[in-house]
Structure 1
Amino acid sequence: MRHALAQALYQQHQYVPVVLLLKNLHKEAYPQLDAAYLLLAQVYMDGLGRGGE
């Protein structure tokens, strides 16, 4: 659920909430960790890295 919400927020350019939703996700046995952390990397590359919110 957090991953789906993070994807929706990413599409709305709400980068900080995405980071907050996805950080430390590795501490839970999340089966799609690779996809979630790829989204997190996109946030840092596309969003926060360019002065995004």
Structure 2
Amino acid sequence: MPSVLGLMEQREARTRQDLESWTEVLEQPQAEVDAAAGGVVRALLTVNEDLNRP
């Protein structure tokens, strides 16, 4: 029978793999959010410039 420590080490390894997998899954949506936020900032700057033109 495996030891408690051995089982905990296996569980930790699986948990780390799960965390890495989810981190990879979230990278693309985060990049899309960052790009959209950049677009919003640019749009706000453009509106602000347009409103401040004489």
User: TM-score, structure 2 length as denominator?
Assistant: 0.33
TM-score (norm: length of structure 1): 0.33
Higher Cα Rg, which structure: 2
RCO higher in structure (CA 8 A, sep ≥6):
1
